[in-house]
Structure 1
Amino acid sequence: MSRSSRAVLAASALLSAATVVAVHVQQRRERERLHSGVLRDLERQNQKKENIRLLEEQIALTKQLVEERDKALMEKGSQQS
């Protein structure tokens, strides 16, 4: 084999190896990115559940406050009569 053919063979082998390594690195990054997306989705779902729970709690407290206010107004009205 001549020097030039050896150099071409070495360069093509090196380029092929670099391509394989690059593809594996890219696949690993993609897999990590997808996994982090799943974790973000789970966190978003948990946050949504917490927000709904807080909203329901706020609605119950508002209803209780309105009932207490109405009761106080009725007592005040019956005392004035």
Structure 2
Amino acid sequence: MPTTSKVVLGVSLVLTLGTVAGVHIKQHLDRERLHESVIRDLERQARKRENLRQLEEQITLTREFETEREKRAAGAQTS
């Protein structure tokens, strides 16, 4: 087998193996990135639920405060 053929075969093998390895590495990185996105989405949903719970609690406290203030105002008017 001539030397030129061996060199061409070697270069082809190196390029092919490099391409296959590169694709596998890229797929692995893409999977990791997608997994991180799912985790961020779950964290965002948890924060949203917590914010809604705090908002509902704040609304309840505001209503209680308004009711108490109205009672005090009504009591002050009757005195």
Query: TM-score when scaled to structure 1?
Result: 0.96
| 2:74 equivalent in structure 1 | 74
Question: Structure 1: which amino acid aligns with 2:42?
Answer: L
Query: Which residue of 1 is the match for residue 44 of structure 2?
Result: 44
Matched residue type, 2:59: I
> If the length of structure 2 is used for normalisation, what is the TM-score?
0.99
Q: Deviations over 1:8-61 (max 9, x none)?
A: 000000000000100000000000010001001100100000000000000001
In the alignment, structure 1 segments of 5+ residues that lack a partner are: none
Give the distance between the partners of 1:64 and 1:8, measured in 2 at CA. Answer: 83
Unpaired runs of 5+ residues, structure 2, are none
Report how many aligned residue pairs link the two structures. 79
CA RMSD of aligned residues (A): 0.4
